[in-house]
Structure 1
Amino acid sequence: MERITSSKIVRVAMVMALALSVAIVPAPAYAAGNVSVSIGRDIPYAGYNTTDMSADGQVAYCIEPMRGTPAAGSYATSPAEDLAAAMWFSFGAPGFDESMWPDSWYDGSGMDDDKYQVASHILLSYANLGSAAQATYGTNADFASWAEREVIGGTWNKICSRADEVSTGFSAFRIDTGPGSQELASFSWHRGGVKIAKVDAQAGAG
């Protein structure tokens, strides 16, 4: 009869642990509910304007430019996985990266916080509506052409290629402000999520 040593018991236990390993799944980052929307100043651009807004303290964006700004208040939310990558890289979100965005504004001037916020609003509107014309609603022809080329054609493509960089624990959601005003988008981010790599149960089982 083969003698069972403590080293063999340890080895068998390790193999079983790998074979039966359970992925660690972080608690859901998003749960449907209500958020408190605050309304700030208008940000004019190219003959139109957007509004500086927040939802429970995080930046919120208009994603329906053709509709009016809502009043401050509490509104219902719904998940928006289709907007997650665009939101992650937008101004005011954790993944914002200037290198993803145009180097200059449509009139040749430099970028600043307001311009990044406007560009993010255009991008998220496009991600939501799927239409460059609707995303640039109300703007002049020069801006619409620039936004379609630089933001939708440039930034959007970069974001699509880097969508896997969105952090575990980050969730985008839509905010329904009612039939008389625009839909908004914002996010929640619960740090500390764990991404599990698939492990071969045979590895190290010699």
Structure 2
Amino acid sequence: MKITDPDNIESSIKSTTKTIINEIDYVLDGIKEDEFKKFIAAIDSSKNIFVTGQGRSGLVARTFAMRLTHIEFSCHVVGETTTPNIDEGDMLIACSSSGTTSITCHIAGLAKRLNALVVVITAHPDSELSKYADLTIEIPASDSDQVIQSQLTAQFRSTLFEQACLVYLDAVILSLVRLLNREEVEMMKRHANLE
């Protein structure tokens, strides 16, 4: 099926983006402040930080890893050829909307057995993945919660989770930048220059 009359499109870019922003705002309004503070403290006290996630959640996790590196944390993406071993005193951050992605659960289980701190970011805090967590951060955007029931979201599957997760993790970065007094000029020195 193709659009036959582009001038007859009912929605505009402004109304469409407003819909998305309102949905993200609704989800982030349900974030628990104490989880946010514990997460920031855990990042600050970790020797090395590892991130994992599959699909679009993995892309969000990779973005967070890059931003942590920019503000001078030792951060690695699980599965990359240069990723070192994880150990006690390190942290694994596992992102999964469903909390049931088998590879993410497996990696979280390994990290737990190796005495690393495991932080899970999910829309389903009672999921299998959360069984491995020392700290679970709920991004309340699951298909079964009131976001869907109230028909607030018009987006496909876990899109709202990924968007809200990205904004949440950017808020973590901004908070760390402020708390640690990171300067733009210093962050730029750690920005990739082979691009």
Range class of TM-score, shorter chain: under 0.3
Higher relative contact order (CA 8 A, sep 6+): 1
Larger relative helix fraction = 2
Compute the TM-score of the two structures, normalised by the length of structure 1.
Answer: 0.27
Instruction: Determine which structure has more spread, i.e. the larger CA radius of gyration.
Output: 1
Compute the TM-score of the two structures, normalised by the length of structure 2.
Answer: 0.28
